[in-house]
Amino acid sequence: MGERHNPIQILIADRDRLVRCGIARLVDSFSGMCVAAEAADADELLSAASTRTIHVALVDAGIACLRAPEMPRELRSISPGTELVILSKHESKDCLQRAIDAGASGYVPKNAAVGDLEAALLGAANGGRSFSAADSRPNSGTGQSPAPRLTPRQHEVLKLIVDGHRSKDIADLLGVSIKTVETHRADIMRRLGVRHMASLVREALRLGLLSIY
């Protein structure tokens, strides 16, 4: 995955102004992201998405799933490049399933760790899917293989790769050789069963390997 030169543009939609303000300040603190627009309802959300570039819409479940069930489809129609991440105070399997049915790229409960929100937004912007509900994940209980075990150093390298750093940058940050970084990268990809960087990001998010950050 190449280094991103422009920040990820985030749209925040929530009915409560103070909630939007708080989330906006949090998102603006994430590396490589900025808040491009805010919305209080589905109409404002769709209007903003139609007039500017939005990479990820972070939308309260009350807007995305419950009050406006057609909104996710309208969003994709107006702005096909915009991914949807749903933020909800609920953590039930029913709410998670509604998010999936609505076409969401991610689901984050409002009591999740800050790192979970950052990972979900980053994953959605890179074409992945991240569902961090505490008691449920897509395909749970269907015989899916458990996530492969990575060493603490491999977790560090994986996070830096997902953040868009190249091997030389990672080597400098960790104080190791480029060859060592490449060895870690190859081993991570082998353990995850992927061959390309885009697949690496998607698979790491799908398996929940980034939820520790």
pLDDT interval class at 3 (50, 70, 90): very low
- Residues 61-98 have pLDDT tens digits of 888 766 556 777 788 889 988 998 988 876 556 666 66
CATH of domain 8-131: 3.40.50.2300
User: According to CATH, where is 1.10.10.10 located in the chain?
Assistant: 152-206
CB 5 within 8 A of CB 21: no
CA distance 151 to 157: 10
CB 106 within 8 A of CB 178: no
- Residues 22-48 have pLDDT tens digits of 999 999 998 889 999 999 998 899 999
- Residues 109-156 have pLDDT tens digits of 887 778 778 888 888 888 776 665 444 344 444 444 455 677 888 888
Residue 145 has what pLDDT? 46
**Radius of gyration, alpha carbons of the chain:** 17
Q: Which CATH number fits the domain 152-206, given the four candidates 1.20.58.710, 3.30.565.10, 3.40.50.300, 1.10.10.10? A: 1.10.10.10
Residue 115 has what pLDDT? 79
- Residues 157-213 have pLDDT tens digits of 888 887 778 889 899 999 989 999 998 888 888 887 887 766 777 677 666 665 433
Strand pairing category for 83-88 and 130-131: unpaired
pTM for this entry: 0.60
Residue 36 has what pLDDT? 94
CA distance 115 to 109: 12
